[in-house]
Amino acid sequence: MSWQSAVACWLLKKQFRPETLKPHVSVERARAHAASSFRRARVPAGWRLVVRDRASDAPLRGEWLERKGDRERGAPVRTLFYCHGGGYYFCSPSSHRPLVFGLAARCGAHTFSLDYRLAPEHPFPAALDDALAAYRRLLADGTAPDSIVVAGDSAGGGLALATLVALRDAGDPLPAAGVLFSPWTDLAATGGTIVSNDGLDPMFCGAAIARAAKFYVADADPTHPYLSPLYADFAGLPPLLIQASSTEVLLDDARRVAERARACGVPVQFEVWPNMPHVWHLWAPFVPESTKALERAAQFVRAHARERTPQVALDAAAR
């Protein structure tokens, strides 16, 4: 464990964990905290960022990051479809730029970071509906499915996995792979590490998981496989990379998915990183382990997604 990781854990224990110890989750405080505490990230040199935040931009509302000149040259590209974390009720593509920019630059993939609707104003299945609509629009605009990797962290990791399950069930062409960072896959909050890692996790107390889940679950069954993809049948899904920390309360959400997916014949690369904070990838490049984890994820993306020249010009991504 690097000293930088120790500093990150200390800061989270001082700034974030006290909020999760409170008996009631405040959406307003969480959103204000996210807006004020996440670090700004510079667009990588040689890349450009296009923000699509108008109502008319739906279903591709979010942020596009692309390498300059690729579109003009008609260069073959890989595409990352990214779902940010934040419990389904806070955070945004902009809060997750340190992670998304770092991953995109390392694997050389154009990246769409989805700005899905948030709970409690928009409970399940709003986020999933947004993800499905955006993915299908990518394909309609000429992006080859075998060039796409669907990725996400925390709640976004669960959303990414639920998107894969729903696409398979609907008979849609599946992407090349999925990448899940500290995924939240069980909104019924039954994982054993919610108890055993309570007090070890520098970010969350175990009891906060069930409380936060209520915003997105609302009146739905928390074990619905599109809401909590842990309960889905994983047969036929593309290869998965799952990274989680040994001390996070959501470790079992990742571990049980890895076990069940393997049992269904899905190729799974499951990595448990010791003593890291939840979604430590967000601390790149300050924390060395964050950079290493993103590098491993980039290797996975390059190994599974093919570079393809879009059938339709990428102008659709930047209008």
Residues 217, 123: contact at Cβ < 8 Å? yes
- Name the active-site residue from 5, 95, 147, 154: 154
The yes-or-no answer on residue 278 being catalytic is yes
- Name the active-site residue from 248, 281, 290, 304: 248
The yes-or-no answer on residue 154 being catalytic is yes
C-beta neighbour count of 32 within 10 angstroms: 12
The yes-or-no answer on residue 66 being catalytic is no
Residues 35, 283: contact at Cβ < 8 Å? no
Cα first-last separation, the chain? 44
Encoded tokens for 316: 């659709």
- Name the active-site residue from 278, 289, 290, 304: 278
Residues 177, 304: contact at Cβ < 8 Å? yes
Render the chain in DSSP notation, one character per residue: --HHHHHHHHHHHHHTHHHHTSSS--HHHHHHHHHHHSPP-PPPTTEEEEEE-SGGGTTS-EEEEEETTHHHHT--B-EEEEE--STTTS--TTTTHHHHHHHHHHHT-EEEEE----TTTS-TTHHHHHHHHHHHHHHHTT--GGGEEEEEETHHHHHHHHHHHHHHHHTPPP-SEEEEES----TT---THHHHTTTT-SS--THHHHHHHHHHHTTS-TT-TTTSGGGS--TTPPPEEEEEETT-TTHHHHHHHHHHHHHTT--EEEEEETTPPTTGGGGTTTSHHHHHHHHHHHHHHHHHSPPB--SS-THHHH-
Encoded tokens for 236: 């036929």
> Catalytic residue numbers?
154, 248, 278
